[in-house]
Amino acid sequence: MKEDRKILLITDLNFPYGGASANFLRLFSKGVVENGYSIEVLLQRGNQFGKTINKSRNGIVNDVNYTHCCFSNRPKYNFLKIVDDICGIFFPVFFILKKRLTGRLNYVIMYNSNALYSFLILFICRIFSIPIFNFVVEWYEKESLISNSPLGSLKWIFFKTQFEFLNKKFSALIVLTHFLKKYYLLNNLCVNKIHVQPNFIDFESFKLNSLGAKGDFVKIGYCGTPTHKDGIDDLFTAFHLLQNHYINMQLLIIGDLIGTDSLIPELKEKAKTLGIFDKIIFTGLVGYLEIPKLLHSCDILVLARPSGKFAEAGFPTKLGEYMACKKPVVITKVGDIPFYLKDCKNAMLAEPDNPKSVADKIAFLIENPESAKKIGIEGYNWAKSVLEYKNAAKNIIDFIVNLREND
């Protein structure tokens, strides 16, 4: 292993499993190892993913070691949460210094949108001339942070401070979309300090040798956190518009809120109001290894994100997972989607905030099965060329190494 190939990845989110961000980081770190680098993951908070329990503060996955700064699981009690937060703020500083002084650290990469967790890390890396990078993956709407937590106003301040000020102090940024790239270019960040990578997918994990016989109905699928910002309301309305025309339909909703409060009771009430309750299957939270089989059981996969900065700035993990199954995808034209995908070629592009448009695209796929199959294959080919995790990780590594050599 070369002396300049040691990376420390730091995040305040889940790892190695527990939602889209955990999948993103696991595949990135796996790709780093497969490209001949060593990477260690430091977790600033205990994991929180439904009732999933981690038994140890340390672990290894895909030859990647990971360590929790304090608790392995996010505590239930506020006092212990504060302890977990304090350790997550200060422990990484000592961890970095120890690694640096022993010659076991060349780069620090963060996946963090909260200034509270990144300020000291950024400061110490700048003092000791350690190249430090940050993944910038989304934009939060102020209302969503304030309404979801008693401390929402503080969370908004920390997010804004990170997004508008601290991110410009990193050695460089890895962003998910051209919207984010444009934002930082307009805020005087050099173009050679921004790398765009939409997401990562391990295509091998989505291969299925046998699924068994399918039913005599059309199954439409969604996977993710079923909230308004992910388009669940428009998907329900679109399904309502279709149900009288296509009697043999089912809607599969895979996923739930990562925290302790489930969204499903509220969603069931909405479904009853629309008269579609008896045609919807809710799985709740499922493990990552269960997702491929569930997606493969569907005929059409849908993501109906509404317009807004959240959709413009982010790039959905589930899109790559959908396409890895070679299923035709209906997705709204938000963010980078029109930049990468073409309507009726490698996806069906619907208008955002327009359930009828979503319904029309689904109807086309139902009525044109041969076209649907071709669109699914073309979507797979696009995703394979852009999102395959090992090649994508290599591009990021080349980016940070070349930046260091040119400084």
DSSP 9-60: EEESS--SSSSHHHHHHHHHHHHHHHTT-EEEEEESS-B-STT-----SEEE
Give the residue, 57 or 49, on which the prediction is more confident: 57
Sorted by sequence, the CB contacts under 8 Å of residue 386 that are 6+ apart come out as 198, 340, 392
Does residue 188 sit in the same domain as residue 266? no
Question: Is residue 15 a part of any domain in this protein?
Answer: yes
Does residue 31 sit in the same domain as residue 178? yes
Question: Is residue 149 a part of any domain in this protein?
Answer: yes
120-172 pLDDT, tens digit per residue, is 999 999 999 999 999 999 887 776 666 666 676 888 899 999 999 999 999 99
Does residue 394 sit in the same domain as residue 342? no
Span 276-291, average pLDDT: 93
Span 310-325, average pLDDT: 92
Span 26-42, average pLDDT: 96
CATH number, domain with residue 317: 3.40.50.2000
Q: Which residue has the tokens 């796996």?
A: 30
Q: Which amino acid is at 377?
A: I
How much is the pLDDT for 56?
A: 79
Range of the domain at 120: 6-200+388-406
Question: Is residue 296 a part of any domain in this protein?
Answer: yes
Question: Is residue 27 a part of any domain in this protein?
Answer: yes
How much is the pLDDT for 146?
A: 64
pTM of the model: 0.89
Does residue 222 sit in the same domain as residue 269? yes
Looking at the predicted structure, is the pLDDT value of residue 406 above 80? no
Does residue 360 sit in the same domain as residue 218? yes
336/307 Cα distance (integer angstroms): 12
320/277 Cα distance (integer angstroms): 28
Does residue 360 sit in the same domain as residue 293? yes
Q: For the chain, what's the residue count?
A: 407
Question: Is residue 365 a part of any domain in this protein?
Answer: yes
Question: Is residue 370 a part of any domain in this protein?
Answer: yes
Worst-scoring range by mean pLDDT, 203-212, 228-237, 243-252, 390-399?
A: 203-212
How much is the pLDDT for 405?
A: 73
Does residue 258 sit in the same domain as residue 341? yes
Does residue 395 sit in the same domain as residue 299? no
Looking at the predicted structure, is the pLDDT value of residue 1 above 60? no
Sorted by sequence, the CB contacts under 8 Å of residue 40 that are 6+ apart come out as 7, 8, 9, 64, 65, 66, 67
Give the residue, 174 or 153, on which the prediction is more confident: 174
Does residue 169 sit in the same domain as residue 302? no
Does residue 165 sit in the same domain as residue 226? no
Question: Is residue 1 a part of any domain in this protein?
Answer: no
Does residue 358 sit in the same domain as residue 397? no
- Number of domains comprising the chain: 2
How much is the pLDDT for 247?
A: 85
Residue 351 near residue 333, CB atoms below 8 Å: yes
Looking at the predicted structure, is the pLDDT value of residue 186 above 70? yes
Does residue 172 sit in the same domain as residue 26? yes
